[in-house]
Amino acid sequence: MNHKTLPPGYVYAGNLDFMRNRRQMKAVVILSLALVVTPVVGGLLYAPLGPGWRLLCSRWYGWHLLAAALVAYIPLHELTHGIVMFLLSGMPPKYGLKLPYAYAGSDVWFDRKSHIVTALAPVVVWGVALQVAIAALPGEWFWPLWAVQISNLSGSAGDLYTAWALMRMKGEDLLIQDTGVHMRVMKKKPTEDANP
Protein backbone atom coordinates (compact mmCIF):
# COMPACT_ATOMS: atom_id res chain seq x y z
CA MET A 1 0.00 0.00 0.00
CA ASN A 2 1.23 3.51 -0.86
CA HIS A 3 0.92 6.49 1.50
CA LYS A 4 0.94 10.26 1.03
CA THR A 5 2.63 10.61 4.42
CA LEU A 6 4.76 8.17 6.36
CA PRO A 7 2.51 6.12 8.67
CA PRO A 8 3.46 5.84 12.34
CA GLY A 9 5.56 2.91 13.48
CA TYR A 10 8.24 3.05 10.77
CA VAL A 11 11.98 3.38 11.35
CA TYR A 12 14.91 4.13 9.06
CA ALA A 13 16.13 1.10 7.06
CA GLY A 14 18.55 2.64 4.58
CA ASN A 15 18.85 4.83 1.51
CA LEU A 16 19.91 4.87 -2.10
CA ASP A 17 21.69 8.01 -3.19
CA PHE A 18 23.41 7.98 -6.56
CA MET A 19 24.71 11.54 -6.11
CA ARG A 20 26.44 11.25 -2.71
CA ASN A 21 27.07 7.55 -2.10
CA ARG A 22 30.23 6.79 -4.08
CA ARG A 23 29.85 3.01 -3.78
CA GLN A 24 26.32 3.10 -5.18
CA MET A 25 27.32 5.62 -7.87
CA LYS A 26 30.26 3.43 -8.92
CA ALA A 27 28.02 0.33 -9.07
CA VAL A 28 25.53 2.17 -11.31
CA VAL A 29 28.32 3.44 -13.62
CA ILE A 30 29.83 -0.05 -13.95
CA LEU A 31 26.39 -1.56 -14.60
CA SER A 32 25.67 1.16 -17.18
CA LEU A 33 28.93 0.42 -19.01
CA ALA A 34 28.17 -3.32 -18.97
CA LEU A 35 24.73 -2.53 -20.40
CA VAL A 36 26.45 -0.75 -23.30
CA VAL A 37 29.21 -3.27 -24.02
CA THR A 38 27.09 -6.43 -23.74
CA PRO A 39 24.36 -5.41 -26.22
CA VAL A 40 26.93 -3.94 -28.63
CA VAL A 41 28.76 -7.29 -28.69
CA GLY A 42 25.44 -9.17 -28.97
CA GLY A 43 24.32 -6.87 -31.76
CA LEU A 44 27.55 -7.39 -33.70
CA LEU A 45 27.07 -11.15 -33.44
CA TYR A 46 23.49 -10.75 -34.69
CA ALA A 47 23.77 -8.22 -37.52
CA PRO A 48 26.55 -6.40 -39.39
CA LEU A 49 26.88 -2.64 -38.96
CA GLY A 50 27.07 -1.90 -42.70
CA PRO A 51 23.35 -1.84 -43.66
CA GLY A 52 22.42 0.42 -40.75
CA TRP A 53 25.36 2.73 -41.43
CA ARG A 54 24.38 3.01 -45.10
CA LEU A 55 20.75 3.68 -44.14
CA LEU A 56 21.76 6.58 -41.88
CA CYS A 57 24.20 8.01 -44.45
CA SER A 58 21.87 7.66 -47.44
CA ARG A 59 19.24 10.04 -46.07
CA TRP A 60 20.00 13.63 -45.12
CA TYR A 61 17.90 13.24 -41.99
CA GLY A 62 19.30 9.83 -40.96
CA TRP A 63 21.79 10.91 -38.29
CA HIS A 64 19.48 13.72 -37.16
CA LEU A 65 16.68 11.22 -36.64
CA LEU A 66 18.93 8.92 -34.60
CA ALA A 67 20.19 11.84 -32.48
CA ALA A 68 16.60 13.04 -31.93
CA ALA A 69 15.53 9.53 -30.87
CA LEU A 70 18.41 9.25 -28.39
CA VAL A 71 17.63 12.69 -26.89
CA ALA A 72 13.84 12.13 -26.86
CA TYR A 73 14.31 8.85 -25.02
CA ILE A 74 15.44 10.64 -21.84
CA PRO A 75 12.21 12.59 -21.14
CA LEU A 76 10.13 9.62 -22.34
CA HIS A 77 11.93 7.40 -19.83
CA GLU A 78 11.22 9.82 -16.97
CA LEU A 79 7.65 10.41 -18.15
CA THR A 80 7.08 6.64 -17.96
CA HIS A 81 8.29 6.63 -14.33
CA GLY A 82 6.02 9.59 -13.60
CA ILE A 83 2.93 8.03 -15.19
CA VAL A 84 3.40 4.85 -13.14
CA MET A 85 3.95 6.91 -9.96
CA PHE A 86 0.74 8.80 -10.66
CA LEU A 87 -1.24 5.64 -11.43
CA LEU A 88 -0.05 4.00 -8.20
CA SER A 89 -0.54 7.01 -5.93
CA GLY A 90 -2.91 9.52 -7.52
CA MET A 91 -0.30 12.21 -6.81
CA PRO A 92 1.45 14.12 -9.61
CA PRO A 93 5.19 13.43 -9.80
CA LYS A 94 7.98 15.99 -9.92
CA TYR A 95 10.47 16.06 -12.77
CA GLY A 96 13.93 17.50 -12.77
CA LEU A 97 17.56 17.34 -13.78
CA LYS A 98 20.54 16.97 -11.46
CA LEU A 99 23.47 16.23 -13.70
CA PRO A 100 24.21 13.59 -14.70
CA TYR A 101 20.64 12.40 -13.93
CA ALA A 102 17.21 13.35 -15.21
CA TYR A 103 14.57 12.17 -12.77
CA ALA A 104 10.95 11.73 -11.84
CA GLY A 105 10.28 11.86 -8.12
CA SER A 106 7.49 11.94 -5.59
CA ASP A 107 6.92 12.64 -1.91
CA VAL A 108 4.65 9.57 -1.73
CA TRP A 109 5.81 6.56 0.29
CA PHE A 110 5.60 3.55 -2.04
CA ASP A 111 5.62 -0.05 -0.90
CA ARG A 112 8.43 -2.23 -2.21
CA LYS A 113 6.40 -3.86 -5.02
CA SER A 114 5.07 -0.51 -6.28
CA HIS A 115 8.52 1.06 -6.26
CA ILE A 116 10.07 -1.86 -8.12
CA VAL A 117 7.29 -1.66 -10.74
CA THR A 118 7.91 2.09 -11.06
CA ALA A 119 11.68 1.60 -11.36
CA LEU A 120 11.44 -1.09 -14.04
CA ALA A 121 8.56 0.36 -16.08
CA PRO A 122 10.66 2.34 -18.63
CA VAL A 123 13.15 -0.44 -19.40
CA VAL A 124 10.27 -2.91 -19.87
CA VAL A 125 7.83 -0.66 -21.77
CA TRP A 126 10.39 0.89 -24.10
CA GLY A 127 12.37 -2.34 -24.36
CA VAL A 128 9.30 -4.19 -25.66
CA ALA A 129 8.30 -1.31 -27.97
CA LEU A 130 11.79 -1.15 -29.48
CA GLN A 131 11.99 -4.93 -29.93
CA VAL A 132 8.62 -4.89 -31.72
CA ALA A 133 9.92 -2.11 -34.02
CA ILE A 134 13.16 -4.04 -34.66
CA ALA A 135 11.17 -7.17 -35.58
CA ALA A 136 8.72 -5.25 -37.79
CA LEU A 137 11.16 -3.11 -39.80
CA PRO A 138 13.66 -4.25 -42.44
CA GLY A 139 17.08 -5.43 -41.24
CA GLU A 140 18.79 -2.16 -42.16
CA TRP A 141 16.89 -0.54 -39.28
CA PHE A 142 18.40 -2.93 -36.72
CA TRP A 143 21.41 -0.84 -35.70
CA PRO A 144 19.66 2.56 -35.53
CA LEU A 145 16.92 1.03 -33.34
CA TRP A 146 19.41 -1.10 -31.43
CA ALA A 147 21.35 2.08 -30.55
CA VAL A 148 18.18 3.43 -28.90
CA GLN A 149 17.67 0.08 -27.17
CA ILE A 150 21.23 0.25 -25.82
CA SER A 151 20.42 3.73 -24.51
CA ASN A 152 17.28 2.29 -22.93
CA LEU A 153 19.27 -0.43 -21.16
CA SER A 154 22.24 1.65 -20.04
CA GLY A 155 20.00 4.57 -19.05
CA SER A 156 18.08 2.19 -16.79
CA ALA A 157 21.16 1.09 -14.81
CA GLY A 158 20.09 3.10 -11.75
CA ASP A 159 16.57 1.67 -11.99
CA LEU A 160 17.88 -1.90 -12.24
CA TYR A 161 20.25 -1.32 -9.33
CA THR A 162 17.37 0.11 -7.28
CA ALA A 163 15.11 -2.87 -7.98
CA TRP A 164 17.91 -5.30 -7.11
CA ALA A 165 18.78 -3.44 -3.89
CA LEU A 166 15.14 -3.28 -2.77
CA MET A 167 14.61 -6.99 -3.45
CA ARG A 168 17.61 -7.76 -1.22
CA MET A 169 16.50 -5.57 1.70
CA LYS A 170 15.11 -7.41 4.67
CA GLY A 171 11.64 -6.63 6.00
CA GLU A 172 8.17 -7.26 4.68
CA ASP A 173 6.74 -3.77 5.18
CA LEU A 174 9.24 -1.49 3.46
CA LEU A 175 8.17 1.97 2.35
CA ILE A 176 10.29 3.96 -0.11
CA GLN A 177 10.20 7.67 -0.84
CA ASP A 178 11.95 8.50 -4.12
CA THR A 179 12.43 12.23 -4.55
CA GLY A 180 14.49 11.78 -7.71
CA VAL A 181 18.08 10.79 -7.10
CA HIS A 182 17.72 10.05 -3.39
CA MET A 183 15.54 7.30 -1.94
CA ARG A 184 14.77 6.85 1.73
CA VAL A 185 13.75 3.38 2.85
CA MET A 186 11.75 2.85 6.04
CA LYS A 187 10.66 -0.41 7.62
CA LYS A 188 7.92 -1.22 10.09
CA LYS A 189 9.20 -1.18 13.63
CA PRO A 190 8.95 -4.66 15.12
CA THR A 191 6.20 -4.96 17.72
CA GLU A 192 7.13 -6.13 21.17
CA ASP A 193 5.85 -9.63 21.80
CA ALA A 194 3.73 -9.57 24.95
CA ASN A 195 4.53 -13.22 25.73
CA PRO A 196 8.08 -13.75 27.07
State phi, psi for 13 to the nearest 5 degrees.
-120, -15
31 part of a folded domain: yes
Q: Is residue 196 part of a domain?
A: no
Flag whether 34 is in a domain.
Answer: yes
Measured between alpha carbons, how far apart are the two ends of the chain, in Å? 31
Percent of the chain with pLDDT over 70: 97
Has residue 5 been placed in a domain? no
> Contact at 8 Å (CB) between 188 and 169?
no
Residue 3 lies in a domain: no
Query: With a threshold of 0.85, does the pTM exceed it?
Result: yes
pLDDT grade for 193, boundaries at 50, 70 and 90:
low
In the chain, the number of structural domains is 1
DSSP class of residue 190? P
Residue 165 scores a pLDDT above 90: yes
Taking only the tens place, the pLDDT of each residue in 17-46 is: 988 899 999 999 999 999 999 999 999 999
Instruction: Report the pLDDT value the prediction gives residue 195, as an integer from 0 to 100.
Output: 52
Instruction: State residue 194's pLDDT score.
Output: 44
